[in-house]
Amino acid sequence: MNKKQFFLGIILASLIGGVVALAGASYLSKQNSATNFADKQDTSLVSWLSNDKFIIPDGINFVASAQMVTPAVVHVRSSVTVTQGQRGADPFEEFFGFRSPERAPSPREGRSSGSGVIISADGYIVTNNHVIENSSRIDISLEDNTRYSARVIGTDPTTDLALLKIEATNLPFVRFGDSDKTRVGEWVLAVGNPFDLTSTVTAGIISAKARNIGILRDLENNLQIESFLQTDAVVNPGNSGGALVNLAGELIGINTAIASRTGTFNGYAFAVPSSIVKKVMDDLLEFGTVQRGLLGVQIRDVSPELEENLGEKFDVARGVYVVDVNEGSGGEEAGLKKGDIIIGVDGSDTYNVAQLQEMVARKRPGDKVDVKYLRKGKELTATATLKNISGDTKIIRKELPVRMTFGGVTFEDVKPDVKTKLKLNGGASIIDISNDEWKKSGAKVGFIITSVIGTEGRYRITGANDLSQILNESKGEELVILGVYPNGQEYYFEVKVE
């Protein structure tokens, strides 16, 4: 090698190193500032660096997809505090309104188990809301048995989805696919942890799309969205929150339910399509709560039964019949009326309620949708501006609860829905304990501290900041900590503040 070749080699190596460094810096910046999962997943650097991890076989094969996805499907274990026993009369109870430790039913932990899917390298995980609902603690186990404690970023009962976060980096994750492009008859894999059997992979096909099976009925405001992908891949209890992927290893759904009379797999399972999953996850990541854009119409599937009930003869065999239009809604402002039959949204056919709900659920308040409908046999089109449940187009941000740590115990403000449920004016929830003194005294994760009794009297706790201040001012004292568990069980314990 002559000098000219040597220096050219150094220059080329420097250029390559610079490109990689810039790509790495760009990737890290994206990961830290991204407000949606397209940005978090969209980096050629991660793909390029991970190519050597997987050997892609030729032809149609389940191996490649399973190999890519399995490391990113996690085991989710949630703990819920429950109690046994009956309330009894006691002087301490009558004075303070709490049971004494001798008379109180001792709290214990109930557990549930499910699955989750890592959707970003920095530890965001999607799962079902019913897997972690009312949990006091959530533990995550990776395929390699590495374990983490997870916190809830946000939940959406109307789609049965939840977004969790673990503190980790460089994790394997599953990329979002396009559930719209998924076809009936296409091969898919279900990956999860049925019956606590970790990293289980089953195969099947897409049996149907836009299925409404009525499992989310009776939710508040009747805003549930059911437009499931149906598959015959074997799914059992414990698969909830796991991945449904195509042969390219892309996430096309989150496994949620099974059709069964026995509680185990009877032939069909249902998954929330990725089109909804991604929108909900982006909302929870950016705003902490889901932004629901509503058309403001009450709807039913067109059917012979509906024709008979209404005494009408429809011009089409399929479509979405408008039963009523809410006053002041986007639908009313767009000119929709009772008796119209909606057959399309934004260029896509909507032959049933599930399809229409899915299309609208992808939007936020303020977004516009083109609605194609029939009125007395004539095809018309209108543009509607979607509104939120309050009837305006504002985006709502959920304030993150204040979190404080004192002496190895971490507290945060009680969530608004928990306050409402338990009729609390304030309080601070214990979300992590590494202090042995507190553990021995009876403190448990999930316990809500509402009052503290010290030498100066009784203090009502309004939130985590308030509790932290009181503990700081009470160092060296023996305190009585009073409160309630998320299930409504009142309890107290004594602890010396160090």
Catalytic residue numbers, as ranges: 130, 160, 240
Alpha-carbon distance of 419 to 434, in angstroms, equals 26
Are residues 277 and 176 in contact, defined by beta-carbon separation less than 8 angstroms? yes
- What tokens appear for 345 in the block? 């949204």
Query: Computed from CA positions of residues 166, 169, 172, 175, in that sequence, does the dihedral angle turn out positive or negative?
Result: positive
Phi, psi of 112 (to 5 degrees): -130, 160
- What tokens appear for 136 in the block? 């006091």
Which residues of 87-175 form beta strands (DSSP E)? 107-118, 124-127, 137-141, 147-156, 161-165
417: left (phi over 0), alpha (psi -120 to 50) or beta: alpha
Alpha-carbon distance of 493 to 271, in angstroms, equals 44
**Max intra-chain CA distance, the chain:** 96
Residue 411's nearest CA partner among 479, 461, 450, 464 is 464
Are residues 234 and 259 in contact, defined by beta-carbon separation less than 8 angstroms? no
Alpha-carbon distance of 419 to 416, in angstroms, equals 5
Alpha-carbon distance of 359 to 228, in angstroms, equals 13
Alpha-carbon distance of 40 to 32, in angstroms, equals 9
- What tokens appear for 300 in the block? 């039913």
Burial class (CB in 10 A: 0-12, 13-18, 19+), 82: middle
- Cα three-residue angle 92-97-98, rounded to 5 degrees: 65
Contacts of 184 (CB under 8 A, 6+ apart): 205, 206, 207, 208, 209
C-beta neighbour count of 309 within 10 angstroms: 10
HSE on the CB side for 417, CA within 13 Å? 11
Supply the angle between the helices 353-361 and 274-287 in degrees, to the nearest 10.
30
Residue 80's nearest CA partner among 468, 487, 402 is 487
Burial class (CB in 10 A: 0-12, 13-18, 19+), 288: middle
DSSP-derived secondary structure letter, 53: G
